[in-house]
Amino acid sequence: MIAVILLASLLLSQNQATNQAASPATNPATNPATSQAPNPPQNPASNASANPTLNPPPTPASNQPASSAPSQTSSSAPNQPLAPTPPPNQGQTPPPAKAPAHIPSASSQTTAPSQPHPPPTRPSKLSAPQSPPSNPPASQATTFGFANVRQLAKERASHEFRPPSQTLPASLANLTYDQYRDIRFRPSSALWRGQAMFEVQFFHRGYNIRQRVNIYDVDGGEPVEIEYNPRSFTYGRLVKPPKAPASLGYAGFRVHYPLQTPAYKDELLVFLGASYFRVLGRNQHYGASARGLAIDTGLPTGEEFPTFTDFWLVRPQPTDRTLTIYALLDSRSVAGAYRFDVRPGEITQVEVHSELYPRRTVAKLGVAPLTSMFFFGEDDGGRRFDDYRPQVHDSDGLMSETGPGQWIWRPLANPRDLRVNRFIDENPHGFGLVQRERSFVHYQDAEAQYETRPSYWIQPLGNWGKGGVELVEIPSDEEIHDNMVAYWVPAQSPATGKPIAFAYLLSAFAENPRWPPGGRVIATRSSNPAMGDNKGHFGPGARRILIDFAGGELEGLAGAQPVKAELSAENGQIEALTVQRVAASGAWRVAFVVTPKPKRTSVDMHCYLTLYGEVLTETWVYQWTP
């Protein structure tokens, strides 16, 4: 499974780089995919009419009080191998080779108590577009729909798990990497070509991309299996067209849509490998990934990777701007039914409905999982790599809005040891892995273009009850690995044989002033506090921390305003606290020195800004390991 996802990542990366070089006039963010990519368009027109209907972002609601900050459960331990390791980064930069990230195990776990007086910051009650009914009307009871997929998942769960077939003809199984990359899908063979705004292209099986998925075209309510056709591909000079039956099937698919310009249908969405999928908004490059489900992530027993085994693509009408996809998920522990309603735009939204049927008890269920890459950021204190680039990451923070309405920002870090933190909550309003740095000067990478990577935001639809958002940070010594994972963990593990349902809206966005609605953290830095007269003044292991806040009401405040930092540290002592407006940038900077208490392995800190008792910003949450 790891090898499959590794190669899928390489194919997506390298083909996008090829498209960028082939046609500078075409926005490269819209043409990433695999070795089976179409040629880029010639002389694309203006993108003014690329998407006549844009789903507006959710609107904010009134402020809500928060009684306490989310509790945080953390763990870290020396490097001990886990098996299997999570999939590597599926980013765009074509590395010379890929290898899964090494995952150490966690030997202990402690719970940090809630911090006093955590603030709400004008939370926005996110709203989603209306979803079509899952069950068809009585007049259409015979048409294929989500009810059919739920029934299939229920039936699968009643039997032992049967791994999908990975059998391939020798001519495909023995392909080299370069030979496999020579296999390209013909755009003229795309499903629904010239019949709808959406088109679908398919991925060939071969090399290490072995798993077959069943794909159906649902036309008029009737599903028809899409059979393998070798004439839909070109095979290049390295590969002879294979002699394979129609039952060979495909490895996955990608959806195209006129996202940038009506002259060309850009790549919008990809399903390839396990339960992974990736989606783009306008002017974005692939970076983070979403998954259907995560099971036992970060546990010593090893992670289980569920797989989408079947897809049903509902044929859209010629002018439809929403595409519906049904999927059947399966694994050793769980079978599940999924519905995806995809709405392209500047902020592309995917509304997800899932119903899970556990075969056995799951120790840790990860709902709406997101994965990303964080190699290093602007905080030189955590940097240990010799690199000309100031920052390298697909996401730089975990953002969340708790049930009581508190906005949280947790900067990501590439730790020396595995770190697992769970932020206890009830009925959360949202969470996501976010890329806030949007300027090229912060990355200086003309090829990877990290400033264009999408942020993914998960908004639960309905009440999810008690649980917590869990963040897993995995040590990595290369940028080719996805080493950040975030998901929701229900407080109660699902019972065997009892279905459990979750629905949420996934938004792929670049910038949105409503997330969060108030002031936000724009930088976190740290350094050795022993400078000049300060040498020897602070205790052993002391660290100077600087936090820059900007946005919201902070923009209009003069430097003389008595803005106050509400700062706390668990397992640490705070000294030399200052708050000032930086004239050169307009940001408000909080600076302080924190000294860890004796025999403490980590210090958990919280900070937000107020003016006359009114909360102005989100809450900065940070874990520092001396």
CATH 2.60.40.10 in the chain, residue ranges? 518-626
Q: pLDDT, tens digit, for every residue of 233-277?
A: 999 887 888 888 888 999 999 999 999 999 999 999 999 999 999
Cβ atoms of 81 and 102 within 8 Å: the answer is yes
Q: How many residues does the chain have?
A: 626
Looking at per-residue pLDDT, the higher value among 15 and 524 belongs to 524
Residue 361 pLDDT grade (very low, low, confident, very high; cuts 50, 70, 90): very high
- Where residue 302 falls (left for φ over 0; alpha for ψ -120 to 50; beta otherwise) is left
Q: Which two tokens stand for residue 482?
A: 């996805």
Q: Which two tokens stand for residue 363?
A: 């120790």
Q: pLDDT, tens digit, for every residue of 55-95?
A: 333 333 333 333 334 455 544 433 332 333 333 333 332 33
Cα 81 from Cα 244, distance rounded (Å): 40
Q: pLDDT, tens digit, for every residue of 406-455?
A: 999 999 999 999 999 999 999 999 999 999 999 999 999 999 999 999 99
Average pLDDT of 215-231? 95
| CATH code of the domain occupying 518-626 | 2.60.40.10
* pLDDT at 124 (0 to 100): 39
Sign of CA pseudo-dihedral 341, 437, 283, 49: positive
5 pLDDT more than 80: no
**Residue 337 CB: number of other CB atoms within 10 A?**
26
* pLDDT at 533 (0 to 100): 55
523 pLDDT more than 90: yes
Residue 209's DSSP bridge partners are: 206
Q: How much of the chain exceeds pLDDT 70, in percent?
A: 76
Cα 473 from Cα 35, distance rounded (Å): 30
Q: Which two tokens stand for residue 357?
A: 């049927």
Residue 501 pLDDT grade (very low, low, confident, very high; cuts 50, 70, 90): very high
Cβ atoms of 428 and 488 within 8 Å: the answer is yes
Among 518, 513, 581, which Cα is nearest to 553's? 518
Q: pLDDT, tens digit, for every residue of 462-499?
A: 999 999 999 999 999 999 999 999 999 999 988 998 99
Residue 380 pLDDT grade (very low, low, confident, very high; cuts 50, 70, 90): low
CATH architecture of 2-56+146-509: Distorted Sandwich (2.70)
CATH 2.70.98.10 in the chain, residue ranges? 2-56+146-509
Cα 234 from Cα 201, distance rounded (Å): 13
DSSP assignments along 422-436, one per residue? EEEEES--EEEEE--
Cα 413 from Cα 321, distance rounded (Å): 38
CA 496, distance to chain mean position in Å, is 28
DSSP assignments along 93-146, one per residue? S--S---PPP-------EEEPPPSSPPP--------PPPPPSSPPGGGTTS--H
Among 308, 412, 392, which Cα is nearest to 91's? 392
Q: What is the DSSP letter of 26?
A: S
Residue 500's DSSP bridge partners are: 356
Among 593, 582, 482, 491, which Cα is nearest to 9's? 482
Cα 405 from Cα 588, distance rounded (Å): 23
Using DSSP bridges, classify how beta strands 588-596 and 543-550 pair: parallel, antiparallel or unpaired. antiparallel
Cα 319 from Cα 561, distance rounded (Å): 54
Average pLDDT of 164-183? 90
Looking at per-residue pLDDT, the higher value among 194 and 117 belongs to 194
Cβ atoms of 443 and 451 within 8 Å: the answer is yes
Q: pLDDT, tens digit, for every residue of 387-417?
A: 999 999 999 999 999 999 999 999 999 999 9
284 pLDDT more than 50: yes
* pLDDT at 292 (0 to 100): 98
Average pLDDT, the chain: 81
CA atoms within 13 A on the CB side of 207: 22
Cα 505 from Cα 305, distance rounded (Å): 22
Cα 600 from Cα 588, distance rounded (Å): 30
Using DSSP bridges, classify how beta strands 374-376 and 392-393 pair: parallel, antiparallel or unpaired. antiparallel
The amino acid sitting at 562 is P
Tokens 């002391």 correspond to 542
Cα 2 from Cα 225, distance rounded (Å): 28
Q: pLDDT, tens digit, for every residue of 21-53?
A: 333 333 333 333 333 433 333 332 333 333 322
Average pLDDT of 140-160? 89
